[in-house]
Amino acid sequence: MSRLLDPKILLTVKDLQLAAKTTIDGFMSGINKSTIKGEGLEFSQYRSYQPGDDLRQLDWKVYARSDRYYIRESEIETSIAVRFIIDASGSMNHTDNGYTKIAYAKYLAASLAWLAALQGDATGLYVLQEQKLLSLDAKRDYQHMNRFYHQLESIAASGRITQPAYYRNVFSSTSKKELIIFITDLYEQDAEIFNMLDSLAIMKHEVIVFHLAGNNELEFDYGTYAALEDLETGRLVSINAGRDAVAYKGELEKYLAAIKMKMLGRHFFYRLLNMRLPVEQALRDFLKQRSKLRS
């Protein structure tokens, strides 16, 4: 059983930083610490951990004795920039298990950002929504992380996704290779999401796409409901759970296979996340893809 708490429990925590810290503490106590390796840097001294310190310099033997994080300081520190892109369109208000996709997306981003800060990375936040783009450039300091979490907590999903005119210059503003994490349900009407992904592919960044799906979507489990509402257009779609389930699952399987091929063609890392499940797999994916930029 995962050491991480059930997301339904953590999503009741109003403070995203606290939820993120709780998640990462559980994750770090459960992973094989030998997989987190430094680069042969000379040890200098110990000091207490501060947000933004490099996770690879944590001394686990000292942690086991004191139950506190201590950093093994070295002469050289390196970091990368991690940009989080959040789809805040109306479809992210889809609810399953008592919470919405946008709530899960915020919790996932909060946890990943806490892990990135532990690694010493700069973090940025970009929220795509209708005719605007919330933009918080990537930085690495304690005050910036407070702003990051404040902006993350303030996100409310509505409307359609941002149009290219609002994000084109932002994502092409650096020539340095970065890690971009896109959290979305991939709901689109006119290929607007994949058009954005094409612009990211051109820039040759390392891209992770976390595709959020409710378990009720994956299992076609809508109880006695006779119709579903499109949360972006307001259109109602009639359903019959008993009659339509087999056909729906067949179409879903083909849709997901097509998505995987599209991501593979763009050289993106893709992960479908059932939002009833803990975020442990996403955290492992982050560490794996991040290592490509450090090798």
So where are the chain's domains? 16-74, 81-294
Sign of the torsion formed by the C-alpha atoms of 154, 28, 32 and 57: positive
* Cα distance between residue 246 and residue 26, in whole Å: 38
Q: What is the pLDDT of residue 173?
A: 59
Q: What is the pLDDT of residue 47?
A: 64
User: Residue 180: which of 161, 165, 190, 167 has the closest Cα?
Assistant: 167
Q: What is the pLDDT of residue 38?
A: 39
Whole-number average pLDDT of the chain: 82
The CATH superfamily label for domain 81-294 reads: von Willebrand factor, type A domain (3.40.50.410)
Provide the residue count of the chain: 295
Assigned token pair, 2: 């995962």
Q: What is the pLDDT of residue 162?
A: 74
- What is the C-alpha R_g of the chain? 20
The model's pTM = 0.82
The answer on pLDDT for 13 being more than 60 is: yes
Assigned token pair, 52: 């933004």
Q: What average pLDDT does range 18-29 have in this prediction? A: 88
* Cα distance between residue 147 and residue 143, in whole Å: 6
Q: What is the pLDDT of residue 33?
A: 45
Do 130 and 38 meet the contact criterion of CB atoms below 8 Å apart? no
pLDDT winner (highest mean) among 39-43, 142-146, 209-213: 209-213
